[in-house]
Amino acid sequence: MSGDFHDTVSGDLGLRIEEPPIFEQDSPGALGVDWPETEAGADRLGGLARSGAIGLPSLAEPTVVRHYTRLSQKNYGIDTGLFPLGSCTMKHNPRLNERVARLPGFADIHPLQPESTVQGALALCRELQRWLTVLTGMPGVALTPGAGAHGELCGMMAIRAALDAGGAANADRKRVLVPDSAHGTNPATAAALGFEVVSIPEDGRGRVDPGRFEALAGEGGVAAVMLTNPNTCGVFENDIRRIADAVHEAGGYFYCDGANFNAIVGRVRPGDLGVDAMHINLHKTFSTPHGGGGPGSGPVVFSEALAPFAPVPRIVGEDGALRLEEANGQAFGRMKAFHGQMGMFVRALAYMMSHGADGLRQVSGDAVLNANYLLRKLEDVYSAPFAHAGPAMHEALFDDRALKDTGVSTLDIAKAMIDEGLHPMTVYFPLVVHGAMLVEPTETETRASLDRFVAIMRGLAERAHDGAPLTEAPFHAPRRRLDETQAARKPVLRWRGAGE
Amino acid sequence: MSGDFHDTVSGDLGLRIEEPPIFEQDSPGALGVDWPETEAGADRLGGLARSGAIGLPSLAEPTVVRHYTRLSQKNYGIDTGLFPLGSCTMKHNPRLNERVARLPGFADIHPLQPESTVQGALALCRELQRWLTVLTGMPGVALTPGAGAHGELCGMMAIRAALDAGGAANADRKRVLVPDSAHGTNPATAAALGFEVVSIPEDGRGRVDPGRFEALAGEGGVAAVMLTNPNTCGVFENDIRRIADAVHEAGGYFYCDGANFNAIVGRVRPGDLGVDAMHINLHKTFSTPHGGGGPGSGPVVFSEALAPFAPVPRIVGEDGALRLEEANGQAFGRMKAFHGQMGMFVRALAYMMSHGADGLRQVSGDAVLNANYLLRKLEDVYSAPFAHAGPAMHEALFDDRALKDTGVSTLDIAKAMIDEGLHPMTVYFPLVVHGAMLVEPTETETRASLDRFVAIMRGLAERAHDGAPLTEAPFHAPRRRLDETQAARKPVLRWRGAGE
Amino acid sequence: MRYLPITDADRSGMLQAIGAPSVEALFADVPEGALLAEPVDLPRHAGEFEVERRLSRLAARNRAAGAGPFFCGAGSYRHHIPAAVDYLIQRGEFLTSYTPYQPEIAQGTLQYLFEFQTQVCLLTGMEVANASMYDGATAAAEAVTMANRVTRRSKAVVSGNLHPHYRDTAATLARFQGFALEAGPPMPAGGEDLASRIDDETSCVVVQYPDLFGNISDFSALAEAAHAKGALLVVVVTEIVALGALRPPGEMGADIVAAEGQSLGNAMGFGGPHLGLFAARTRHMRQMPGRLCGETVDADGRRGYVLTLATREQHIRRERATSNICTNSGLCSLAFTIHLTLLGETGLKRLAALNHAGAVSLADRLGARVVTPAFFNEFTVRLAGDAAGAVEQLAGEGILAGVPVSRLHPGAGLDDLLLVAVTETTDEEDLAALAEALS
Amino acid sequence: MRYLPITDADRSGMLQAIGAPSVEALFADVPEGALLAEPVDLPRHAGEFEVERRLSRLAARNRAAGAGPFFCGAGSYRHHIPAAVDYLIQRGEFLTSYTPYQPEIAQGTLQYLFEFQTQVCLLTGMEVANASMYDGATAAAEAVTMANRVTRRSKAVVSGNLHPHYRDTAATLARFQGFALEAGPPMPAGGEDLASRIDDETSCVVVQYPDLFGNISDFSALAEAAHAKGALLVVVVTEIVALGALRPPGEMGADIVAAEGQSLGNAMGFGGPHLGLFAARTRHMRQMPGRLCGETVDADGRRGYVLTLATREQHIRRERATSNICTNSGLCSLAFTIHLTLLGETGLKRLAALNHAGAVSLADRLGARVVTPAFFNEFTVRLAGDAAGAVEQLAGEGILAGVPVSRLHPGAGLDDLLLVAVTETTDEEDLAALAEALS
Ligand SMILES: Cc1ncc(COP(=O)(O)O)c(C=O)c1O
Ligand SMILES: Cc1ncc(COP(=O)(O)O)c(C=O)c1O
């Protein structure tokens, strides 16, 4: 017997139960579904029938349900607690939306059914477009992109197409100005389309310096600026109109990364600020669930100038006789096999209808209030680089200067938060801030939850200064810190056999 | 800072998060649903409008979802792991059954709709009756009882009614013979109906001694025997036919507690053994979920002799013109507001159809095999009082004799199992065995799961002998042992205010 | 078969391990001839798709309430259930757990039961509530037997306006337990004199609030009359949403409240599973049936919950138990609790107000044909002819117009009466359709 | 509003705490005039019942596939999804979690991704698979750009029998990335000669298996031809269930497999969200797009999983990333994994066999009108007249007869061709109905 009574025979600890991969639970002969065997008959597979085993394990349904239940229990979700992941808008995901997305009239229809049999689906897409149009003040909407980054591709392709349509002289327009603080998808998108990424340094206020921007734009060859607003430093680009004017003057377009639209929805229309294209992460602002990494949906709204270049398919015609336009001379092309993330459209529209114009306004107000509340309640213990530069928007940005002499890093704080029953905030992003901690509480937290967060964060700061072993945290999660170096050095990307 | 780094600021531990009652999360003004305010108008409440506050707390939906999610995370279910609760048949609960029970054609219909509008529902009830009839070999089925104990009431009322119908001489028949090993509901039911409970002692083989029984039955005034078979000692009453004959000879009826029907379903028909009435816990044998204590469903099958006395409502007529008979001269009465646990009927029928006659036979075979396997694998370390008396049925019964000198009790083993990621077996039942441990693995466990159980149980026995502090277990559950004495001495049965 | 994980290989290995020649050999104790050699005469196993298809076809042969205007009540009500409720109750940790006899790993169930008991107390105005009964009717029957125990008397005086199925459920128990149950005739417009029927033998008076016909009355005087004779007042509620708008029975002197809780969180489901609520006074706590959840502390001093006062129950007290109930309506009480938590103080009041406003609106349209002077969301209408016939005919036209009184009181000369219920799911068009259909 | 927990009292307390006069004051950085004083011109908030009712009405205006005989395929397939799948993916711990960047509390997501990657490898016969892409079309487009990177060439040779939407998705990227994409004309009965079109500039050949018209062909020789010229073979699969019956692309020499995984675990949902599968050879691992989950150990030496090789990705590598993808199809991959785990070796093979048997049965009835010599569960039928017209007409009769080729290849002179798909959800009656309707 082990001397430590915390130890168990099984290695499991109460409701914390270890669960090996399905491949280690293979029980040949077990079935998890009951499809009948087919009567032997001549096949018409042209000699290409699979021979031999695929190698899939066999498990009965009870084993499978238990397996994935147990896996789920090793996860933290919004339903578990505060999930203040900056730039990700981890807000409440209403169950109503799951229910309506599963209505057979939405879930059990085929993308290529006759249009006459899907008028309700097309009308739903139209209605979603209407809400997005009114909320952004921008007339065009492309629904197809699969997520935010895909929306960026869509927007930047439209810009390229518009430039190309503007004449051969535009062929040289390859420069895309991107702030250093931008999300990685922005430069990756621009580069993927053959643009040259020109970085705009942060101005000390967490923003783009308009003078500096005008200078950069003036250097010629500008295709576009890609700007996130509210930006990833958690503040509003107050010179956004000057920036828009400058890029337009330079002959380029203004792409806005709409990841942070939650801070302004119902209060500010990007169309009023000179934006030409912006993706909207329905999985952020409009609460379609993140699902452990996806699926998302990234519709793009367009200005008059860019709308003609939107990709196919497009929804055209009148209610009751709506059609999908699959080819259009000006359209820059196609993004995806079908018409977009319909399941997410249903959820997002249900979310919008539930809130209404009044509720959406409250969304942004409360999201911003909550972030400012956290900023003010914590700025004395965690350094806040831009706290001086005006109110925060829906995120509170801290850095690790205040922890300097403790030996405790941003990462350690994040891991210690895990022990406290919190999900960590976004860390080390934006890159312009050393040891960044980007906290986005969202509007769906109670004040009590925010106060609890404050108390924990203050307590952790104190412990950091007191020399607590936060560098070893977490202690209480399903796993201690994982060895990412080993994972990358000798990648094991699939199961190979038991007992490695 | 606390010296113990296992300690956290919040008191929460990773994914183990404390969650106060809703009443301590009251946030006046918060809404969890959006019903509009009604326009003021004259009410017709006759002056009985409620004045003042009800006292319900106000929480928004995100808070509520998180609250009940967290509560669920403090629970152990079949989906979590092995749940070997003897006499309870904690088998896999298929999700298909949840899905079909929610079809609007079943869930969204009213018990008093015109019969012409519920022909499918009535046909489903009929179909369930057919399955139960064929499986039990008994011609009558009363569907209304709400659970097993309610079924007992139903069966015993039918017996009383039949006796009464048999003439005034039967008025004195008040004795109901009940083995000591019976579940508490058996004597409670008999007593509730004015019967006198006569106990039948266990015979050393975990069974009723037929000679002894005949003697008891011969003493006159016998109304019925209530026998569980397979019985709660986990064995089959091999003299069941003699017992049936004896009670019939004595002018009484044979009530069988069908809680353990899972051991014989598809293989043995109680009707072939002389049973006159038996309840079937759909929430055991036919896998409708236990739901943390209910709802269940306890249909009763009847022999020819008792069938006429079944309660109303009854389903009569032909398919397509089925009717509910709400009054019948011979019926002993009514059990419940409406026609029974329809939601459970749908689930149970889905379960039966899924298994079919072949699958149900496999159910009992595997359930019995699994129990015998555990019995043989553990009988050397846990004493098994009836292991000598023939094969076990679907339960393996142990007692605490083998732990005698360790200071560790059955309860301690149960609590130590919690630490190991297992749910404990049924403990201290049946009462005829000191420190009983009644283990029912069910047929939906894998062999690997059984082997893991064996390894843990053997390990715990070893630790008990090695002096491990099992008397203090559990250490790793959401709570340590709870003070039941305090709970009963000063009952606090409702929330009264924060921070007691 | 997809639910059965033991493979042929497992089976033979395990048989070998235990030294048994076959699975059949394990059934050696079954008497000669009773062990079936072959599967019974029922269909063979079927895949999920097939089972779902067959059951969906049966479901399609029923007219779902959501398919058109719907006005049935009389003990089962159609309310909107928030999507979060149905998600949460399906979480395996709730759905697939057992009665919380091992409290260390059942705090989830226990805490919601504690919340549930508190909510039931608040709604009913009572002091203590149990963790549920099968349904309102069985709760009412248990209330009567509890009153018998408390008073050591054996005669219950029952209102003629109690739901007849409730009355019959109690009467059935009365027949076998040997107590008297005196029920008056139905009085659709109310005005029953129950006080005069109470005597020194009376254990309780049982009334319904709102009653079968929708009437609501103040029972304070009745309570006093009962108490004066040493009897208890049992108040039955079949539409619990009513208590969001009405004075709670506890304020009127009720000693026991037995209610149907289906309206919150639970579908009508053709009548079951429903949810019996049971609340009483602290002084009678130890005579209550059913489970009780109580607060306590664990070995580390942390607050926690357990089932308590189990010495009342069958598994401890056996033939001396207060009731034989074991399995109750656990998951239905969870649904109730979550729904009511979502509603909260304001939500419940608004919901009740909406229900009442809808009913008033319908009553206004129907004018003098409404028999019930004061009501919550259900009332009685007098038709020109046979109500059952009218309902059947309207069903053919897609309107489920309500419950004819003759369905519950056949042969009582009330065949022209129709019970109509209005909830928040009834819209303006529905109201117009029924008013039109009945005119 | 039910989703917004901050009350008026909270708001004023918090404003006071931070010293701000109003919420509006926090928007001080918004330029003059751009801050709206009033809510925008859209409806006000609505309760759950109302929203559900409105959306249900929209849903009712679509013809669900389950409502009658159904034969559409062409990249999206109707398969039965076990109920357990939908329950499990809705568990909040999966549904409401983020990309597993904090692995200590995301082992659930990470482990299923590891299982998913392994399953995709097994099905496709490839060595390494990523954690998903948006859909099959974007996976195929990424496969081409990956081939360009690997070979440092910029011309893709594309089969004319590749789904035209896939082709267009890749062509759109080609246009903006400036590489060549040479697609041949459609050849409904197969027999395309692609090998001859490969030259020293070719980065890859892209083929579909089964192809748009349902043809299945052995690409081993094509793989050799490509490899001989230093080009890669990209195999696209739009019906992943086919790989339960067919030789896997990995055995034929494929270098990259880009597939649509919707068929397992995911509804058709009008075309999205779907699930892009992406598998390749280990030697090209570091050129793959998207997330990869890898096994490692924690500080206590226990096995665990993390996202790895992130230096390929946009959040680390930024403009030098292998792809800009961030959010992928996480939950769809969970559904896929659970469904495939339930199926297992035997279940998948039986499922595939059932699909094929159904298609063969239909083809037998249609006889010589079937254009496709060898197929899995979908094939091409030549009608007497315009297929689109026939489909429209049959839709009116309640039969969704398939996808007319003209919908995908308009103006290509293939207007008399119809693609019909048969799955395990198609029953004998459905087959008879279509055969009859087309005769
Ligand atoms: C600022 C910003 N831009 C773009 C993206 C990319 O969006 P998606 O993940 O939906 O592709 C993100 C996502 O985290 C983001 O935070
Ligand atoms: C042997 C036995 N009889 C009767 C019952 C009572 O059944 P129910 O809980 O369904 O009322 C049980 C339940 O545990 C039991 O095990």
Residue-wise pLDDT for B420-477, tens only, equals 999 999 999 999 999 999 999 999 999 999 999 999 999 999 999 999 999 999 999 9
Structure confidence at residue B2 (pLDDT): 38
Helix, strand, coil percent values for chain D (each to nearest 5): 45, 15, 40
Quick one: which atom of ligand 2 is closest to the CA of B281? 10
Q: Which band of pLDDT confidence, cut at 50, 70 and 90, is reported for residue A2?
A: very low
Which atom of ligand 2 is the closest one to the Cα of B87? 16
In which residue ranges of chain C is pLDDT below 70?
Answer: none
List residues in chain A touching C: CB distance below 8 A: 14-15, 27-36, 59-63, 65, 69, 94-96, 98-99
The 3-state DSSP class for residue A23 equals helix
Q: Model ipTM?
A: 0.98
Q: How far apart are CA B389 and CA B386, in angstroms?
A: 5
Question: Which residues lie across from B85 on neighbouring strands?
Answer: B439
Query: D202-208 and A277-279 as β-strands: parallel, antiparallel, unpaired?
Result: unpaired
Q: What is the pLDDT of residues C201-248, one digit of tens each?
A: 999 999 999 999 999 999 999 999 999 999 999 999 999 999 999 999
Kind plus residue range of the DSSP H or E element containing D118: helix D107-124
Chain-centre distance of CA A479, in angstroms?
Answer: 25
Candidates D387, D422, D423, D393; CA nearest to D407 is D387
Share of chain D above pLDDT 70, in %: 100
Residue A236: φ, ψ to 5°: -85, 135
How many other C-beta atoms can be found within 10 angstroms of the C-beta atom of residue A488?
Answer: 17
pLDDT at residue number D160: 98
Write down how long chain D is: 439
Ligand 2: nearest atom to the Cα of B147: 10
For residue B456, what are its two tokens?
């843990």
Check whether A5 has a pLDDT greater than 80: no
DSSP-based helix, strand, coil % in chain B, nearest 5: 40, 10, 50
State the nearest Cα–Cα gap between B101 and chain D, in angstroms. 12
d(CA D48, CA D161): 46
Closest ligand to Cα A86 = 1
Nearest CA to ligand 1 atom 5: A148
Which one-letter DSSP state was computed for residue B9? Answer: S
Query: D110: which residues sit within 8 A by CB, 6+ positions away?
Result: D100, D103, D293, D304, D305, D306, D307
Residue D333 identity: S
CA distance A184 to A89: 17
Pocket of ligand 2 from Cβ distances under 6 Å:
B 87-88, 147-149, 183, 185, 228, 232, 257, 259, 281, 296, 298; C 326-327
Per-residue pLDDT of chain D (439 residues; tens, 9 = 90+): 999 999 999 999 999 999 999 999 999 999 999 999 999 999 999 999 999 999 999 999 999 999 999 999 999 999 999 999 999 999 999 999 999 999 999 999 999 999 999 999 999 999 999 999 999 999 999 999 999 999 999 999 999 999 999 999 999 999 999 999 999 999 999 999 999 999 999 999 999 999 999 999 999 999 999 999 999 999 999 999 999 999 999 999 999 999 999 999 999 999 999 999 999 999 999 999 999 999 999 999 999 999 999 988 888 888 888 999 999 999 999 999 999 999 999 999 999 999 999 999 999 999 999 999 999 999 999 999 999 999 999 999 999 999 999 999 999 999 999 999 999 999 999 999 999 999 8
Q: Which of A13, A94, A455 sits opposite B61 (nearest CB)?
A: A94
D108, containing H or E segment: helix D107-124
Identify the three-state secondary structure at position A72.
helix
Which of D52, D80, D87 has the CB atom closest to C49's CB atom? D80
Residue A9 pLDDT > 90:
yes
Question: If you ran DSSP here, which 8-state letter would residue A49 be given?
Answer: B
**CA dist., res. C107 & res. C104, Å (int):** 6
Cα(B298) to centroid(ligand 2), Å = 9
Q: Which residues of C touch chain D, with CB atoms under 8 Å apart?
A: 2, 48-49, 52, 80, 82-83, 87, 90-91, 342, 424-425
Binned at pLDDT 50, 70 and 90, residue B279 comes out as very high
Nearest to D95 by CA among D268, D272, D265, D332: D332
DSSP-derived secondary structure letter, A202: B
Q: What local confidence, expressed as pLDDT, does residue D210 receive?
A: 98
Reported confidence tier of residue A6, pLDDT bands at 50, 70, 90 = low
Q: Are B335 and B346 in contact (CB under 8 A)?
A: no
Encoded tokens for A186: 């922005």
CB contact under 8 A, D5 and B62: yes
Determine, for residues D92 and B69 on separate chains, whether the beta-carbon distance falls below 8 Å.
yes
Euclidean distance between CA atoms B380 and B402, whole angstroms: 9
Answer whether the bond into residue D249 is a cis peptide, omega within 30°: no
> CB of D321 within 8 A of CB of D314?
yes
Asked if the Cβ–Cβ distance from B47 to C374 is below 8 Å, we say yes
Among chain D residues, CA nearest to C346 = D2
- Interchain pair A36, C45: CB under 8 A: no
Interface subset of C 213-232, CB within 8 angstroms of B: 216-218
SS3 D62: strand
Query: Could you report the per-residue pLDDT of D390-419, keeping only the tens digit for each?
Result: 999 999 999 999 999 999 999 999 999 999
| Alpha-carbon distances, residue C42 vs B117, B267, C46 (angstroms) | 28, 13, 12
Mean pLDDT of chain B: 96
Report the relative pairing of strands C155-158 and C202-208 from DSSP bridges. Answer: parallel
| For residues A228-242, average pLDDT | 96
Is D374 close to A184, i.e. CB distance below 8 A? Answer: no
Give the pLDDT confidence score for residue A498 in this predicted structure: 47
**Which pLDDT score, from 0 to 100, does residue B40 have?**
80
**Do the bridges between strand B396-398 and strand B437-439 make them parallel or antiparallel, or are there none, so unpaired?**
antiparallel
At A3 the pLDDT is 42
CA-angle at A97, arms to A325 and D263, nearest 5°: 60
- Across the interface, do B184 and C315 touch by the CB < 8 Å criterion? yes
What integer pLDDT is reported at residue B499 of this predicted model?
A: 40
Give me B379's structure tokens: 């009988």
Residue A23 to chain C, least CA–CA distance (Å): 15
Q: Which of residues 217-256 of B touch A (CB under 8 A)?
A: none
- How far A458 CA sits from the closest chain B CA (Å)? 9
The Cα A76–Cα A422 span in angstroms is 9
- Point out the ligand 2 atom lying closest to the alpha carbon of residue C325: 11
Ligand 2, atom 5, lies closest to the CA of: B148
Element (H, E) at C274: none
φ, ψ at A146 (rounded to 5°): -80, -20
A67–B contact, CB cutoff 8 A: no
Q: Which pLDDT belongs to residue C290? A: 97
> What is the B279 CA–ligand 2 centroid distance (Å)?
10
Which chain B residue shows the shortest CA-CA distance from D106? Answer: B15
Q: Indicate if ligand 1 lies below 6 Å from the C-beta of A155.
A: no
The alpha carbon torsion through D388, D390, D395, D400 (nearest 10 deg) reads -80
The confidence band for B6, taking pLDDT boundaries of 50, 70 and 90, is low
Q: Are A332 and A161 in contact (CB under 8 A)?
A: yes
Distance CA(A289)–CA(A148), nearest Å, equals 14
Does residue D234 contact residue D144 with C-beta atoms inside 8 Å?
yes
Tally of CA atoms within 13 A in the half-sphere of C7 that contains its CB? 15
Does the beta carbon of A279 sit less than 6 angstroms from any atom of ligand 1?
no
In angstroms, the separation between the Cα of residue D25 and the nearest Cα of chain A is 8
DSSP A300: E
The DSSP output letter for A337 is: S
All residues of chain C having their beta carbon less than 8 Å from the beta carbon of residue D48 are: 80, 82-83
pLDDT in tens, C56-74: 999 999 999 999 999 999 9
Q: How many residues does chain B have?
A: 500
Does A53 have pLDDT greater than 50? yes
3-class DSSP state of D259: strand
Atom of ligand 1 nearest to the CA of A150: 11
- Predicted structure pTM score: 0.98
